[in-house]
Structure 1
């Protein structure tokens, strides 16, 4: 008996941030500043962890979710990450949002050997287990997404004259690179104008006027939600009618399309990997019904029409699944091992046919998207699920 009990006790392994009763998880979000519309991701995750705690916890352990605001400012991200790791002593940092923000703490997290897990940005750099074994993304990479748009244009509009608006930072440059890679040798002739805007700019109207003047018949909008909504409005004001493609990160009906005006958004194209919590297409879907019930009970002030809420819900489910797989070995190394051992996992909210798969050499959990077009007051999916796989 003594040997058996000793063995059972020995199986429990903890690093800083985990005990018999608690798992401390850190998070950094832009609750204020130019990208504050993304804050709903963190608020939804917080609500989901409260639900888990109320319904039995994870193997008896309460999730202590510590989330801080960085206002989408990389120096502030560094300050908050240090506080979470060195003062709050979290087991890991989960789902921190923004490419420039996460880039600022990328080397620090890996030097400290603290998981920077399910980073809420699609930069391709989050899938490099050889150089950065403590960092893993979650959503499809921006480069994969942009290559899908390039494939679509090469097929549907091979003589397109493309104007690109992009955020002048790691996020914008990464997705622009994917577009150029996808267009290949034709990129030089097809892209007639590209213009980068700064996050600090209050309006991008002058950029839209400049891009229209280039004579483009395709406008590609690689921006964050506030700017995407401004662009949709300005294009309508100018009477410009290009084929308009908007990045997935700004495809939210609640935070982008509705503020920009449904009339102004007709026939805009994007790509998606999650369902829409208020789209009639999914009204009888059991998982969407669960999401709606969750929002009503745990996050009633949240906007069910904002797909970012559904993304936060699916992200939190993925984190819970990994922690459940960890069992009583809540070391940082095992957290990363289990995150890299997801097989056909499908959190609620992913489109049919889209599943999460990872391995020790593939740190890109979601690598599939489906094209969609905005009609009326909803997105309409079309075509097959497309694999933009870039993992190993």
Structure 2
């Protein structure tokens, strides 16, 4: 086990305890089913597999992320029209939690107890998904490919039914800090981060490279306060030259825009969670964004290059099955999640069970469509342990050819290994 994961488990103890308290009445009223997962397959019929998710369709995270589930649905529509997986169509139930943990608990219980879904897929958000983590595992519901970079999802002994999707925040923080050191070795490096595990873990990763206290200034924000003037002003006063961002897209744009108003123009290095250029353009405007985001640096682990074969397929699916919605990093993310679930379902066989689905992922045989191999295995529920570096140049965001992986507590430069497109993007297709 890597040290960064062990460290995080200590830091989330309070969060987990709070979530357990919130779920206490649920655990009492809805105990584990007691059924053998090999004998029960809720949500599965001869013709369909029904799964569900909680997403912020409204609330503080909606502007940056509400389009993800629509992209996943569009991918499933494409698969279903082409015969489904093992002859079954995928039905995807999306429920809005408003990025509110209490609402997340309500909608996830509805999905499990009333809708009887086969699995939960890509539930979004660290605080929101933490609130249902115990419940899903106690009830032996596959909790797949969580939409958050928290290392909480990689605890196979404690949470055997939960699997990550994002590269974790420690990996991203370490990669951003390493790129800052490699490109600007004498720069003053600082960080603006969300005031939760997201910010904590990016700091943790950055300090693996910079050393404890190596960040000259660390400022935190709350998603409930749409004003970061004080934080950006403090970073300007501290002489910060490279600012790492543990921010969601809306707060990335807010930070960049606020700095510009203050006449402050540092280099911005963002986590993938807040680094999607088309989404940022939506916040900053088409006139201002290209100027403020020239040279903007971010991490990614998915195939979003403008001339890539996966991008071409996903753009086609978006046009045909998603009402021509704007095509951006959220589109690629949502469809990549759908592809990985389809791959896992295909591997689970003609008569899928919940345990069989978990076993298929834990086998380590899944490939996904990322730029690096997946890390799933019997003792790892992490997805990607490395990321590529992207930059924005003249309004185009693409990989620069630098890829980092976290090996233990050391950052290593590695070669990207993009997964080629096969079977028209449908697992099991000939």
> When the two structures are superposed, what TM-score results if normalisation uses the length of structure 2?
0.81
Contact 1:100 1:171 in 2 (8 A): no
Closer, same or farther: CA 287–153 of 1 in aligned 2, 3 Å? closer
**Matches of residues 180-219 of structure 1 in structure 2 within 5 Å?**
180-184=207-211, 187-188=212-213, 190-219=214-243
Structure 1 residues 284-340: Cα deviation after superposition (integer angstroms, max 9, x where no partner) = x33322111111100134211x11110111110000011011113321111111112
The 2-side partners of 1:226 and 1:117 are apart by: 26
Note the residue ranges of structure 2 that are not aligned, 5 or more in a row.
1-37, 410-430
> Is the CA contact 1:22–1:61 (under 8 Å) kept in the aligned structure 2?
yes
Matches of 1:49 and 1:182 in 2, distance apart? 40
Partner-residue secondary structure (3-state), 2:334: helix
Q: Does residue 304 of structure 2 align to residue 276 of structure 1?
A: yes
Out of 271, 274, 279, the position equivalent to 1:250 is: 274
Counterpart in the other structure of 1:5: none
| Aligned residue runs from structure 1 range 175-324, under 5 A | 175-184=202-211, 187-188=212-213, 190-257=214-281, 259-260=283-284, 261-276=289-304, 279=306, 282=307, 285-304=308-327, 306-324=328-346
Matched, 1:345 2:371: no
Number of residue pairs matched? 367
CA distance in 2, matches of 1:156, 1:55: 46
Report Cα offsets for 1:337-380 as digits up to 9, x if no partner. 11122436142xx34xx232421112112222111222110124
For 1:100, the equivalent position in structure 2 comes to: 127
Query: What is the distance in 2 between the residues matched to 1:78 and 1:301?
Result: 32
Cα deviation 1:206-242 (Å, max 9, x = unaligned) = 3212221222222122110111111111222222122
**Secondary structure in structure 1 of the residue aligned to 2:388:** strand
Structure 1 unaligned blocks of 5 or more: 1-11
Counterparts of 1:154-193 in structure 2 under 5 Å? 154-184=181-211, 187-188=212-213, 190-193=214-217
CA contact (8 A) 1:369 1:385 kept: yes
Residue from 37, 45, 48 that aligns with 1:19? 45
Question: For 1:192 and 1:253, how far apart are their aligned partners in 2?
Answer: 27
Structure-2 separation of matches of 1:213 and 1:69: 40
CA distance in 1, matches of 2:379, 2:400: 32
- Classify 1:389/1:49 alpha carbon distance in 2 versus 1 (closer, same or farther; 3 Å): farther
RMSD: 1.9
Cα distance in 2 between the residues matched to 1:242 and 1:148? 19
Shift of 1:390: 5.7
1:42 to 45, 69, 72: 69
